[in-house]
Amino acid sequence: MIKLSDICYTYMSDGPFEKAAVKNVNLTLNSGEFIGLMGHTGSGKSTLIQMIAGIVKPTSGKIAIDGQELYAKNCDMRKMRFKTGLVMQYPEYQLFEETVFKDIAFGPSNMGLSEDEIKRRVFFAANLVGIGDELLEKSPFELSGGQKRRVAIAGVLAMEPEILILDEPTAGLDPAGRDEILCKIKDMHQRLGITVILVSHSMEDLANLTDRIVVMNHGELAMFDKTAEIFKHSEELKRIGLSVPQITEVCSRLSEAGFPIAEGIYTVEMARAEIERILKSEKS
């Protein structure tokens, strides 16, 4: 369980460029949940998740992960960071090793694992993000942009964190690659029961994957609810520069046009089931 109480963060405090990026956020996220995080650019999403990952210390407020308060005297921050895996926004720049294999192994070897275990994890993670074995001995700087991104993500997945945090992991990837990576992450979430926090601007991805969604607006927590509930507030979302999945838009237009379609539909599958149900009942 992740519990944030009254979290604030200010960049460049007491200067002319002071910027309150996160203001008084209170949140409780359960273990094993798939959480979505959305908000306009500059709403404080990245700052918030960096605080959860124990990379950035909140200016004020407390964060507790599974009951352990971060930055408390008895808290081993390094150990806590192994529990949370953070894939930063545009993580390509974190690559530095001679080979892809060594780069993915950087995290696991910092954890002090055995050679065999490191090897197993590197192959597991590389496979998960679709990096073939033939690429493992190449230099990471020879790869294409998309491949670099995958290697960077694999570097975090190989640490097998209990809480996986992804900051816009698919921004700038091709659609096929995007779906593939997200699908693998969903799969990992279900199989291993890990908690996932996904920052994304794609309403479709959030609708398809998440259990609950956190909405940020100008550094404040705007909404936090079940995915279905969030997408019922299309007006409010639009006001803060966000939107609803296209299929939700389609359904509300249908409803306006007099088609008796139910509210709260946010995935294509749901819409198809609902339309089939209506068509069937109209026939009989």
Partner 1 sequence: MLKDITLGQYFPGKSFIHNLDPRTKILCIVIYITVIFLIKSFLGYAALAIFTALCVFSSKIPVKFVLRGLKPIMMFVAITALFNLFLTNGRVAWQWGFLTITYEGITLAIFMVLRLFFLVLGTSLLTLTTSPIALTDGIENLLSPLKRIGVPAHELAMMMTIALRFVPTLLEETDKIIKAQTARGADFESGNLISRAKAMIPILIPLFISAFRRADDLAVAMECRCYRGGENRTRLRALKMSYRDGFGFGAIILFTAIIILTNILSGRLGLV
Ligand X SMILES: Nc1ncnc2c1ncn2[C@@H]1O[C@H](COP(=O)(O)OP(=O)(O)O)[C@@H](O)[C@H]1O
Residue whose Cβ sits closest to Mg ion: 46
User: 280, 179, 279, 257: which is closest to 249 by C-alpha?
Assistant: 257
Residues near partner 1, by CB under 8 A: 12, 14-16, 50, 53, 55-56, 78, 81-82, 84-86, 88, 91, 93-96, 106-107, 110-111, 141, 155-156, 159
Q: What contacts 24+ positions apart, CB below 8 Å, involve 135-138?
A: 135/100, 136/99, 136/100, 136/101, 136/104, 137/99, 137/100, 137/101, 138/99, 138/100
Q: 3-state DSSP call for residue 166?
A: strand
Residue whose Cβ sits closest to ligand X: 46
Nearest distance from C-beta of residue 215 to partner 1, angstroms: 24
Beta bridge partners of 100: none
Nearest distance from C-beta of residue 143 to partner 1, angstroms: 13
Q: 3-state DSSP call for residue 161?
A: coil
One of 11, 90, 123, 124 touching ligand X (CB under 6 A): 11
One of 2, 4, 7, 21 touching ligand X (CB under 6 A): 21
Span 30-49, contacts to ligand X by CB under 6 A: 39, 41-47
Nearest-10 Cα torsion for 223, 225, 229, 235: 10
Contacting range for Mg ion; rule: CB under 5 A; set: 41-49, 156-164, 258-266, 269-277 = 41-49
Task: Give the count of alpha carbons within 13 A of 188, CB side only.
Answer: 24
Residue 110 interface partner, choices partner 1, ligand X, Mg ion, none, CB cut-off 5-8 Å depending on type: partner 1
Nearest distance from C-beta of residue 98 to partner 1, angstroms: 10
Alpha carbons 105 and 280: distance in angstroms, whole number: 55
Q: Which residues contact ligand X (rule: CB under 6 A)?
A: 11-12, 19, 21, 39, 41-47
